Amino acid sequence: MSAGVEQREGIVIRAGAGHCQVYVAPEQVHVAPETWQCQVRGRLKKGPKQVQSLVVAGDRVRFEAVAGQGPDGREGIVEEVLPRRNRISRMAARRSGGRIEQVLMANLDQLVVVQSVRDPEPQTGFVDRLLAAALRFDVHGVVIVNKVDLCGDDAARRRELERWGYYRSLDVEVVPASVATSEGLPELAALLAGKISLLLGASGVGKSSLLNALYPELGLRVNSVTDRTGLGRHTTTHTELHAVRGGGFIADSPGLRGFDPWDIAPGGIRAYFPDLEVVALECRFRGCLHRDEPGCGVKDAVARGRVPAWRHEAYLALLRDLEDRERAAGY
Ligand SMILES: Nc1nc2c(ncn2[C@@H]2O[C@H](COP(=O)(O)OP(=O)(O)O)[C@@H](O)[C@H]2O)c(=O)[nH]1
Ligand SMILES: [Mg+2]
Ligand SMILES: [Zn+2]
């Protein structure tokens, strides 16, 4: 740092390879916040971190202003990425080879997992593995069950909500919602107020629609059904943070297909399924993976209806995927 150059601090709202957009909160009310376009200082790229996770949405950074070319001249160079309080990370795409961490976002207050009751149909185990990752990274989890207007009759709705309500036993808030009827929107607004949240979920579950309903000024692009099935769809490709009324930040994310949590060994998944851990006290073997082992307390609990079979299946699917990853990485 050269003497006399003023350093500013802000929060990264959008990041690409080697550059980012930084939001600087005003020091006084009635003053508009500023957005700065920043390059990342070359020497920061030499560290052990992969370039794609060097600076991510949610990071707090220090930067220096440089003489800008842009219309408002707000350009800078990031000198320092401040230590992350937490993060949500997964393993990068398999084709990238080896094991590479992909940080989706840093410094969050909560991970909001969005699922729809149908259209698209819930993917077995998807919410479960995201909640396992939230536990792993010390991030509070929330589940939104969207499109409850599509449930059908009251009996179907009750069944549906009872299934999703299971997550409440894991200290996770579950909010049934519908953009079509506005159900659950006040609860969601209250959960998001003043917090830094990341919305994750498959494409088409209604993430952008929910945010638009709460904060119309965001004007997020909503996928039409044809967009989703056709080629050439235009969806967000990066996690992008939006500063919203009430002081919080919300990140809408591109639709997630798969999610293999970063830094959980297959044998360690158990710890992030706390409901299975409780009944695992009955397992005959200490290191039981609740698969084919005799005397397994988890399988027993499933057979007696104490734990839903889908939770066990979600655990097994994650175990399988993480073992495949290890094998592919040559461990
Ligand atoms: N019936 C119904 N449709 C919804 C609801 N929320 C979103 N949609 C529709 O679902 C589609 C995908 O929504 P979008 O917000 O783009 O999903 P995203 O990919 O998760 O951001 C759009 O056609 C929305 O109009 C809802 O609560 N009920
Ligand atoms: Mg969207
Ligand atoms: Zn077991």
Instruction: Please list every protein residue whose CB sits less than 6 Å from any atom of ligand 1.
Output: 146-147, 149-150, 178-180, 201, 203-209, 222-225, 255
Residue 255: predicted pLDDT: 79
Crossing angle for the helix pair 207-214 and 185-192, nearest 10 degrees? 80
- Which listed ligand is nearest to 319 at the C-alpha? 3
Is residue 128 within 8 A of residue 318, CB to CB? The reply is: yes
pTM of this prediction exceeds 0.85: yes
| Ligand 1 mutation target, pool 114, 179, 198, 250, most atoms within 8 A of CB | 179
Contacts of 152 (CB under 8 A, 6+ apart): none
Kindly report the number of other CB atoms within 10 A of residue 324's CB atom: 13
- Which listed ligand is nearest to 298 at the C-alpha? 3
Nearest atom (ligand 1) to Cα of 203: 19
Q: Is the pLDDT of residue 248 over 80?
A: yes
CA distance 220 to 253: 11
Q: Is the pLDDT of residue 275 over 60?
A: yes
Residue in the block written with tokens 């057979």: 303
Q: Name which of 43-47, 89-93, 188-192, 260-264 the model is least confident about.
A: 43-47
| Ligand 1 mutation target, pool 203, 223, 240, most atoms within 8 A of CB | 223
What single string gives the DSSP state of each residue in 155-219? HHHHHHHHHHHGGGGGT-EEEE--TTT-TTHHHHHHHHTTSEEEEE--TTSSHHHHHHHH-GGG-
Domain boundaries, given as residue ranges, for the chain: 7-81, 87-252, 266-328
Nearest atom (ligand 1) to Cα of 119: 10
Q: What's the sign of the alpha-carbon dihedral 183, 308, 203, 260?
A: positive
For domain 87-252, the CATH class is alpha beta
Q: Taking the domain 266-328, which CATH number applies? A: 1.10.40.50
Cα 203 to ligand 2 centre (Å): 7
Residue 162: predicted pLDDT: 95
CA distance 224 to 220: 13
pLDDT tens-digit map of 24-69: 988 887 888 899 999 998 877 766 555 568 899 999 999 999 976 6
Instruction: Tell me if the bond preceding 274 is cis, omega within 30° of 0.
Output: no
pLDDT, the chain, mean: 89
Cα 208 to ligand 1 centre (Å): 7
Q: Determine the length of the chain.
A: 331
What single string gives the DSSP state of each residue in 253-269? -PPPS---BTT--GGGG
User: Mean of the pLDDT values across residues 57-85?
Assistant: 89
CA distance 81 to 9: 10
Q: What angle do CA 123, 195, 122 make, to 5 degrees?
A: 10
Q: Which two tokens stand for residue 278?
A: 């409780």
Q: Do the domains 7-81 and 87-252 sit in the same CATH topology, yes or no?
A: no
Taking CA atoms only, the protein residue closest to ligand 1 atom 26 is 147
Burial 283-319 (b: 16+ CB within 10 A, else e): beeeebbbeeeeebbbbebbeeeebeeebbebbbbbb
Residue 44: predicted pLDDT: 76
Nearest atom (ligand 1) to Cα of 224: 23
40 or 5, higher pLDDT? 40
Give 98-166 as a 3 state SS string.
CCCEEEEEECCCEEEEEEECCCCCCCCCHHHHHHHHHHHCCCEEEEEEECHHHCCCHHHHHHHHHHHHH
Q: Name which of 38-52, 83-97, 224-238 the model is least confident about.
A: 224-238
User: Mean of the pLDDT values across residues 307-311?
Assistant: 97
**Fold of the CATH domain 7-81:** OB fold (Dihydrolipoamide Acetyltransferase, E2P) (2.40.50)
Residue 96: predicted pLDDT: 62
CA distance 33 to 35: 7
Q: Is the pLDDT of residue 232 over 60?
A: no
